[in-house]
Structures are given as structure tokens and as C-alpha cells.
Amino acid sequence: MDERRPRLALQAVLPADLAAACGIDLTDARRIVSLAHRLGELPARAPATVRRAALDAARAVGEVRTLALVERRASAEDPFVKYAFRLEDGAMVESVRIPLERPGRYSACVSSQVGCALACAFCATGRMGLTRNLEAWEIVEQVRLIRRDLGATVGGGARVHGVLFQGMGEPLANADRVIQAIRVLSEPSAQAIDMRNITVCTAGLPSGIRRLAAEVPAVRLGLSLGSVRPGRRRQLMPIDGAHPLEEVLAAAGEHARATGHAPMWAYTLLADQNDTDEDAASLAALARGFAAQHGISPRISLIPYNAIAASDAPLPSPGGAEDQRAAEERRAAADPFVRSPRLAAFRAVLTAAGVGSIVRYSGGGDVGAACGQLARSQAQVEAQRSGGRGASSRPRAAPDAAVGAPSTPPRPV
């Protein structure tokens, strides 16, 4: 029976922990962590800056593991890029490269779980169910590989400036590993991403929100609302049954007071579900009450709904009325939601109530990279396992967007 201790994943360990694990100098540990992140491996020969004994000691206790890039899809509409990564057990997750307004800066939207147990009705990942949590190194590696792809396809000093935990999975249901990944991502010898540029988005787990405030207070908080009417929210987001919105907002208020950061409230507008004037007035009242109680106003981000069903495509024109009706029924069963046409009216109610908002630009919809669309069906996983089209273990040089696409997304309006 093998009694050996598990080997460290060197791109998910902090220098102090590596130094303690193998008895090496902290300076050497920092340089070895830097090598793991820059090269994606440990060199066969020690560079002049690292003692050979230290490198050998690190190699004895750890290794640099990686994910396989099986698909890279650049949007033809904007500079968003979606990646599909295969994990060592064959499962797959998706990540997105998001352009920021300043040229050369990008955010990485990363996954924290394979699937999700929370079953939010308007999220594609919620339809998958939960397979497992990601390890800290699997989270960090998504960022490292996106950064490598930037160097290969954009160049010119392009870099990952921020990280958004809003890919597949509920980050705070995997809080231990997410917090460890955040610490590594912000470590100067690793990815050196300022914690203030890292946002963790949650459907509403109060204990996890409090952990963020206590353990990584510089990180920003995002909260998905769905609806502010309890009955409707519970229909859209079953987590509300375990953690009602009032309980979640109490934790978010504690986070705001402890960190000084305004929470971001994400509100996905769904036609005839949560987009009435009354819904907007209720949201405005809740935002004003939050500000009065906690001294910090939430930042409200309105998100146009992005279709999450593969069958949500233009209906075929041939065929009689009965065929068209059957097609419509199939599409409705697969995706019962429709993008609300009331975005401007909804926002006007907020403005009239003295509550500001932005409209989130959610790009990459043509490649399934927009907010709420990340998911990997079992059929896709099996196709990639059997060597389906697009399989690759390293990033391929590809344009960021089609010719004529904007170099940066439109500013929030």
C-alpha cells in the first residue's frame, strides 16, 4: 500500500508553504513558484538564480500539473474568447477571457466547480448538476493558461488584470479552494493580480460571504439576485429556500462594513418574470434600505438574459403551423426564458427612485461565452474524450475577434 504523501501542485502553493514543506530558503521558494507559473514546469537544470539543491527539494515534494485546452472559440462579435479545459479525470470546465476598457488588459472569468448544485433556472451550469469541486491548482491553472494564450495571440504586454469567479459553479460552495486560489493569484511571485481586481460572485451563501470578509477582505463581492420578491426568487433560485435573501443581504452588509467595498448586485432581466415596474421599485427600495443600514450603496448591474438552450435558435421556416407549434414547444421546454424588452423602462424606474445602475455588456454570446451560458454537456465531454474536433493541449494562435469587431466592449450605459 502506497503511504506516500500527496505531491504538492506547485502552481497552487504559496512560497512560505513550499519553503516549509521542503526545508528550503524563502527566496528560493519564491523563485521556484515563479518558474512554475512562468514556464508551466520545473526546468531540468537549475537557473543561475535558484540553487540546485532547492530545485531538487521542490521537485521531490511537488510537481506542476496542467489542464488540456480542448477548445478555444473567439467571438466574431467582440474580443471575448471562450476556453474549454479538460481535467485529469476527463471532466471539463469552461473559462472566458474578457477584454477591459484599457487596451492590453483582460479579466479571466473562471470556473470553481464541475457543474453546480444550486440549479438557478436562468443559468446553463445549473442544469448540469454538481460533479465535483475544483482543486485550487485547477482554478489557478485556468488563469495561467489564459495568460499564456494572451502572450501567444495578443502579445504586446497584454496581461490578465483581474479575475472573476463567475464561471461554472458556486465559488462559495468550494470556499477553501477558492480562497487558496485567490491567495496564490495575488502572490507577487505567482500571478501578481491585485486582490482588489478579483471578484467572487455568489448566489447567496452567507457563511462564505463572511469568510471572504475575514480571510481575503480586499476581494470584491458580487451577488446574484434573480428577483427581490421572495416567492419569485425561490422559483428562479432554489437556494433562497435555504438562505432567504434577507439573510444573504445581512451577510453582504457585514462584508461591506468590514471591507469598505460596495457589493455588486447582479440582476438578470427575464421577460414576464422579474421585469415589471413593481419589480424595479422593489429593487430600488431594497437598495436604498441597504445603503441606509450599512452606509454603502450597492452597485446594481442589470444583465440582459442570454439564451442557455442549444435549441434556442431561429425556428425553421418550412413546415405547416403544426410543425412550427411543435418546434416552439420544444424550444420553450428547453429554455422557458426570453430576454426582457423592458430594460430601459426598468432602469428608468430605478433612476427615478434615485438608484443608479449599469447595464452589463455580456459579450461572446455567439460562442456561448456570455453570462449564464457556460456549461459542458455530457455529449460534448464524450466527443472531446474521443478526439473530437478542436482538441488541443496547447493554445492555438487565433484572432481575438473577427475583422471589424470592436477592440474593446462598449462602456456600460
Name the nearest CA neighbour of 166 among 229, 227, 116.
Answer: 116
b/e per residue 195-212 (b: at least 16 CB within 10 A): bebbbbbbbbbbebbbbb
CB atoms within 10 A of CB 313: 10
Strand partners, 223: 202, 265
Rounded CA gap, 65 and 56, in Å?
Answer: 17
Grid cell 450599512 in the structure block, residue: 294
Q: Where are the beta strands (DSSP E) in 10-116?
A: 62-63, 68-74, 81-86, 92-99, 105-109, 113-116
Residues 6+ apart with CB under 8 A from 17: none
DSSP 174: G
Task: Tell me the C-alpha distance between 171 and 179, whole Å.
Answer: 9
Annotated catalytic residue 109: no
Of 109, 116, 123, 371, the catalytic one is 371
Burial 97-107 (b: 16+ CB within 10 A, else e): bbbeeeeebbb
Catalytic residue among 71, 94, 141, 187: 94
Say if residues 110 and 143 touch (Cβ distance below 8 Å): yes
Q: Which residues contact 100 (CB under 8 A, 6 or more apart)?
A: 106, 107, 161, 162, 408
**Structural element, H or E, at residue 176:** helix 175-186
Active site residue 371: yes
Identify whether the C-beta of residue 40 lies closer than 8 Å to the C-beta of residue 144: yes
- Report in angstroms the alpha-carbon separations of 92 from 87, 96, 133, 143, 208: 6, 14, 12, 15, 25
Q: Which residues are catalytic?
A: 94, 371
